[in-house]
Chains A and B, each alone.
Chain A
Amino acid sequence: MTTITLRNLRKEFDDVVAVNGLDLTVRDGEFLVVVGPSGCGKSTTLRLLAGLETATDGEIRMDDRDVTGTEPKDRNVAMVFQNYALYPHMTGRRNVTFGMNAGGSFTDEEINRRVAEAAETLDITDLLDRKPQAMSGGERQRVALGRAIVRDPDAFLMDEPLSNLDAKLRIQMRAELTQLHAELGTTTVYVTHDQTEAMTLGERVVVMDDGRIQQVDPPQSLYDFPANRFVAEFIGDPAMNMIDVAVEEGVAVHDAFRIPLPAGNAADETGSGSETESLADPDAGDRSHAVLGVRPEDLHLARERPDLGETEFDATVDVTEPLGDSLLVHCSVGDATFKMSAEPRSSLDPGGTVSVTYDSERLHLFEPETGEAFYHSATAPAPSDRIERVVTD
C-alpha cells in the first residue's frame, strides 16, 4: 500500500520536453488513470515512475522514500505492458515465477503458493503449462497480470495493457481489472489513450497534454466540469461542440442565436461555484468574447424535448450519421457548425431546417486565447473531490 508523490517532475529528451513539471499525488490504494493523446508524456511519466527513464528534474516519492534515483528493481513496482512482454520460450508458470526467483526473496514453497493463488484469482491455472505462443491475446495479458501480482508489489504500473485486445475482450478485461483492483487494493497507475477506458476504470483521471497535467478529477467531474478546452474536447465522444460567441450581460450571443446563461454562475461572477484555477485569479481580463462549449448529447431537437423551455434556434442539417442508439446530426448555424444527437430513426433531410434546443444546465464557456474554462452552468460538486492537485503534502 503506497502513496506516490510526484513533485515538479520533468523529463527532457535532447531538446524535446516530454514531461514538463508534473505535480501529482497518487493516493494509497487508488486506481489512477492517466489519459491523453499520443506524445503527451503519459507513457514517459509511467516509465519515470518505474525507473526505466531518469528524471531530468523533480522528485518521485513512494510513501516516505525518495525513489527518484533508485534502480527499477529496488522500487518494488510491477509493470504490465501493451505487448504483454512474456518470455516466448518459457511456459506460463516459468514466466510468472522468473522474476520472483531473480529477487531471491521468496522460498520455493512461497512461490508455489503465490502462483497458485494468483492463478486462481485470474483463472489462469490451465495456462501455466502452456507457452505464450499457444495462448490468445487475452490469456497472455492475464498471465502478464499474474506475473505482476505474484510479486506483491507496492504499485502496479500499466501501460495501455488492453490496447492489443479486440473490442469485446477489452470490455471484459476492463471489468476484470476493476474487480481485481477491488480485491487487491494495490495502488495502480494506468496509462491509456482511450478516454472510454479512462472514464470506466479510473477512480480519478489525469488528463495530460503536451507534457503537462490539464486536470485531475473523478471521471464524472471531468465530464461535467472540464477545466479547459482541451479536456472538454478530449473527454466525451463525439467531442464537445465549440462555438465562438460574444458574452453580453449573461447572454451568449451569436449571429444566429442568443443563449441566456443561467444566473448564479454567470460569467462576471468570479470566485464562486464552479471555479477553476483561472477563476481564482482576479485579473481574469476581458470576457466579452468566449467559446461556448456544448456537448452533442446536450443538444436536442426542440420537438423531441419540449420540457427544456422555449429557448431554441434554427439550424440547417448538413449530414446525418446513424449510430444505432442515436442519430448524430451535423448542423450549421450562421458560420458555426456543430454536432447534436437526436432520437434514432428520426427522419431528417440534409439541407432541411431543424429547431434546436439545449440543456441549459450543461453549458460551458472558455477563454478564447488560453482555453481555460471560466463558466459552467451547472453547480460544482462538493469541493473535496476536486482540489486534489493542490494537495501535495
Chain B
Amino acid sequence: MTGAIQYAKRRFESARAAIGAETGSETPESTTDLGAAGIHFQLWLLAGLVLFPILVTVVVSTKQQGIVTSLPDLLPGTYAVENYREAIVDYGFGRFMWNSLLMSVVIVVGKLVVSVLAAMAIVYYRVPYKDLVFLFVLFTLLLPVPVRFVPLFQLMNDLGWSNSLLAITVPYIASATTVFILRQHFLSIPTSIVETAKLDGVGPVKFTLQVLVPMSRGVLVGVSIIMFVYAWNQYLWPLVIIDSEANQVAQVGLQLLQGDVQGGQLSWSLVMAGSVLTLLPPLALMILFRKPLLETFAIQQK
C-alpha cells in the first residue's frame, strides 16, 4: 500500500518537475502527468469508498463490545486474539469454514468438468440443433436461483439429500456462464489444431486432457476463481436446506455468532471477526491468481 502511495507521489513530483523545467507554458507531457495524478486520486478515492466498510469491520473485530458511536471508536482495540479465538473455538466457526471450503471446491470442480464437456460438445461435435441447445443453456441465466427453491427443496427431500453436502453442491454444478466463457475460448483455438489432432488419430479423451485443457489453463483458472467466490458466498440455499449446525456453511454460520441476543448484548465484535474470517479464503485466491483472472477477461479485448 505504501509502495503504491509513494509511486503516486513520485509521479506527481515528476509532473511538477516537468512543469518547472519547461518554464511556464504547459507542455502536453506535463498535462498527461497531471492527468495521471488526477486519475490516481480518483482511483484512491473509489478504492477508499469500497474499502472503508471492510476497514471498519476489521477494526470492530478487535474490540470488546464493537459498538461504534463516535470517531474514537474507530481506533483498533486490544481484544483481537480473544475475539477470533472465541469465534473459531467456542462457536465452532472453523467447522463452518471447512464446510464452506468443501462445498466450494466440489462446486468448482464439478462445474469445470461439466462445463468443459458441455462446451466441447457445443464447439467440436456435430449435434443436431446445437445452437438452439446452447441458447437454451443461456436461457437458464434468466432464472434466478431462488425461483427454483421450492421444486428444488422437494427434489432434495425426495432424494433424501437434504442436510447433506450433496444438497448444497449438486444443484450448482451446471453453469451457463462457465459454458459460455469456455465456448468462446474454444472457438478462439485455431481449427487447424483440432484438425491436426484428428489427422494424427488423437482420441477425444487424449485431446481434451493433453491439448484442450492445457491450452485453456488460464481461462479455467480464471473461471474457477469467480466460481469459487460465487459458491463461497452462497447463503440462502444452505440456510433453507441445511438444518444441522454441523453441516452448516460459514455464511449462514455468521448468524449463529450473534449468540445470546436475548441477553441484550449482541456481540458485534464477534460477528465482525467471523466476517473477516469468511473474507480471507476468497481474498487469498484472488491475490494468488490475479494474473490468470485478469487474462480471462482480457481475452475478449483481443
Contact A79 B199 (CB under 8 A): yes
Is the beta-carbon distance between A78 and B215 smaller than 8 angstroms?
Answer: no
B202 interface contact, C-beta 8 A: yes
CA distance A344 to B203 in the complex (A): 59
Whether A313 is near chain B, meaning CB under 8 Å from some CB there, is no
Closest chain A CB from B114 CB (angstroms): 23
Contact indicator per residue, chain B 170-197, by CB within 8 Å of chain A (1) or not (0): 0000000000000000000010110111
**Cβ contact within 8 Å between A81 and B192:** yes
Determine chain B's interface SS by DSSP, over half rule: helix
B195 contacts A52, CB within 8 Å? yes
Interface flag for A345 (CB, 8 Å): no
Nearest residue, chain B, Cβ from A100: B200
Select which of A83, A86, A88, A102 is within 8 A of B206 by beta carbon.
A102
Q: Does A206 contact B (CB under 8 A)?
A: no
Q: Which residues of A contact B206 (CB under 8 A)?
A: 102
Chain B, 101-138, CB within 8 A of any chain A CB: none
Q: Separation in Å of the A190 CB from the closest CB of chain B?
A: 16
Size class of the contact patch on chain B? 10 to 19
Which residues of chain A are within 8 angstroms of B190 by Cβ–Cβ distance? 83, 85
B187-222 toward A: CB 8 Å interface, digit per residue (1/0)?
A: 000101101111111110010001100110100000
Asked if residues A88 and B215 are in contact (CB atoms below 8 Å), the reply is yes
Q: CA–CA, A82 to B192, complex, Å?
A: 9
Within 8 A of B (CB), among A47-63: 50-52
Bound CA span A147–B201, Å? 13
B190 closest partner in A (C-beta): A83
**Complex-state Cα separation, A99 to B211, whole angstroms:** 12
- Distance (whole angstroms) from the CB of B204 to the closest CB of chain A: 11
A98 touches B192 (CB 8 A): no
Closest to B195 in A: A52
Chain B residues, CB < 8 A from A83: 190, 192
Closest residue on chain A to residue B202 by CB atoms: A102
A146 to chain B minimum Cβ distance, whole angstroms, is: 13
A242 to B198: give the CA distance in the assembly, Å. 46
Contact call A73/B192, Cβ cutoff below 8 A: no
Q: Taking the complex as formed, is A223 at the interface, i.e. its CB lies under 8 A from any CB of chain B?
A: no
- Among the listed A75, A82, A87, A102, which residue makes an inter-chain contact with B215, where contact means beta carbons less than 8 Å apart? A87
Q: Is A168 interfacial (CB 8 A cutoff)?
A: no
Contact partners of B215 in chain A: CB under 8 A:
87-89
Task: Give the nearest-CB partner of B213 in chain A.
Answer: A89
Contact residues in A for B202 (Cβ distance below 8 Å): 98-99, 102
Contact B196 A73 (CB under 8 A): no
Question: Known: A83-B190, A89-B215. Contact between A73 and B195, CB under 8 A?
Answer: no
With a cutoff of 8 Å between Cβ atoms, the chain B residues found around residue A98 in the complex are: 200, 202, 210
**Chain B residue contacts of A79, Cβ below 8 A:** 195-196, 199
Q: Could you list 15 further interchain pairs (A-B, Cβ under 8 angstroms) beyond the known A85-B196, A99-B201, A102-B197?
A: A51-B199, A72-B199, A73-B199, A74-B201, A85-B190, A85-B193, A86-B193, A89-B215, A89-B217, A98-B202, A99-B197, A99-B200, A102-B200, A102-B202, A103-B200
11 A-B pairs whose Cβ atoms sit less than 8 Å apart in the complex: A52-B195, A74-B201, A75-B199, A79-B195, A83-B190, A87-B211, A98-B210, A99-B200, A102-B206, A103-B200, A151-B200
Give chain A's interface residues, CB within 8 Å of chain B: 50-52, 72-75, 77-79, 81-83, 85-89, 98-100, 102-103, 147, 151
Q: Which 3 A-B pairs have the closest CB atoms?
A: A99-B200, A73-B201, A85-B192
